[in-house]
Chains A and B, each alone.
Chain A
């Protein structure tokens, strides 16, 4: 453990990276949506309140914010908010399913500075992708990427959540990214939001995780991961990036109604630190909340204390443990030493995420058809 990561465990005066879900409204109903999005929350922050959050981020020298949702482009003031941020020196990377990026919008996006775009894609073919993201979503994403390429946007990102079904397509994803002049970003599936119900069927197997580790090592820093796979470091060679859980220490989430959570994957009262509408604003929540102070305190290795790999994996992901009913001071459910599987067999009650904004239709895991 280096001095740098020790400092980060104690927390910083301002986060390095903030995820800000602008709306719970979404035209899609992905089965693994981390924020259970669908319907807009009427208590959503207003444009003025959003501007105020950006003012605070600028003062705290937060360099950039990851905007998501829901589908953030659904907000009518989406461009107002993005432009307010980028002209304040707060860079924006936003995640979208691509529905609202036509040729004209792509031109507009390409003309903006300090802006980065992440198109979500969860299968390298329509059958694999649409089983997760819904009918037609593959074609929509591909059309948006073509528009961005034609508009000369430059290197946008293609963001893939790795599942049992798409993990064999990593090379194909890379080829798609190369074709569009984009950068590939692959991240870990967490059992958060609607994935609390689908994770058990979708998360990669142990063998697949070993292959993934090798694949990531061979691609180095050319493939982005948001440092989300540090639990794989227990397999031996370390992946690039910070080897620690940044929740409440260097990252946090601002949700559409201004609630501040420790990370995007723990939308639950247990990890709710406050609201940007509180008297101290966002800075007050970040600096003084009990929830974050606790996360910055010494953490026990618990059942992992006697494991030789603890230094390498740090016990893995807090959200993954929490939403599978495992104790936070024990192995990750996807522990590569196999301890997670044993723990899952005797897991406690699985907590439900705080808000369900799903549209009032049954969301089911689509059947995969072989194209």
Chain B
């Protein structure tokens, strides 16, 4: 997914929480927990960068952590919180 253009699904709202954020999908009425504040920042910004890896660079995330972020984003794509654009 690292070189894929992504964005937050337009029907998803994020509510900041001490553990990260709550994501609510208005279309499928599912509630998803984003369990880390840094993933929340990345998810919010996906639409403003060419792809996932450039979003990660822009957020100063070290390359050895990219795999973990890639995995987390994949699971958010599965739950339709993040979509390809």
A7 touches B17 (CB 8 A): yes
- B58 CB, nearest partner CB in chain A, Å: 26
CB of B85 closer than 8 Å to a CB of A: no
Please give, as numbers and ranges, the residues of chain B lying within 8 Å of A13 by CB-CB distance. Answer: 17
CB of A4 closer than 8 Å to a CB of B: yes
CB of B29 closer than 8 Å to a CB of A: yes
CB-contact partner of A114 in B15, B19, B26, under 8 A: B26
Tell me which residues from 116 to 175 in chain A have a Cβ below 8 Å from any Cβ of chain B.
Answer: 116
Task: Give CA–CA (A7, B37) in the complex, Å.
Answer: 13
CB of B39 closer than 8 Å to a CB of A: no
- B54 CB, nearest partner CB in chain A, Å: 29
CB of B66 closer than 8 Å to a CB of A: no
B33 touches A4 (CB 8 A): yes
CB of B18 closer than 8 Å to a CB of A: yes
CB of A310 closer than 8 Å to a CB of B: no
Given contacts A3-B19, A89-B13, contact A64 B29 (CB under 8 A): yes
A64 touches B35 (CB 8 A): no
The secondary structure that dominates the B interface is strand
CB of A12 closer than 8 Å to a CB of B: yes
- B81 CB, nearest partner CB in chain A, Å: 13
- A343 CB, nearest partner CB in chain B, Å: 34
Task: Give CA–CA (A63, B26) in the complex, Å.
Answer: 8
Given contacts A16-B31, A63-B24, A64-B29, contact A7 B18 (CB under 8 A): yes
Task: Give CA–CA (A308, B69) in the complex, Å.
Answer: 35
- B61 CB, nearest partner CB in chain A, Å: 20
| Chain A residue at smallest Cβ distance from B35 | A4
CB of B1 closer than 8 Å to a CB of A: no
Please give, as numbers and ranges, the residues of chain B lying within 8 Å of A4 by CB-CB distance. Answer: 19, 33, 35
B29 touches A93 (CB 8 A): yes
| Chain A residue at smallest Cβ distance from B23 | A63
CB of A81 closer than 8 Å to a CB of B: no
A→B interface (CB under 8 Å): 3-4, 7, 12-14, 16-17, 61, 63-64, 89, 91, 93, 113-114, 116
B→A interface (CB under 8 Å): 13, 15, 17-19, 22, 24, 26, 29, 31, 33, 35
> Can you list 24 A-B pairs, Cβ within 8 angstroms, ordered by A?
A3-B19, A3-B35, A4-B35, A7-B17, A7-B18, A12-B17, A12-B18, A13-B17, A16-B22, A16-B31, A17-B31, A61-B13, A61-B15, A63-B13, A63-B15, A63-B22, A63-B26, A63-B31, A64-B24, A64-B29, A89-B26, A91-B24, A114-B26, A116-B29
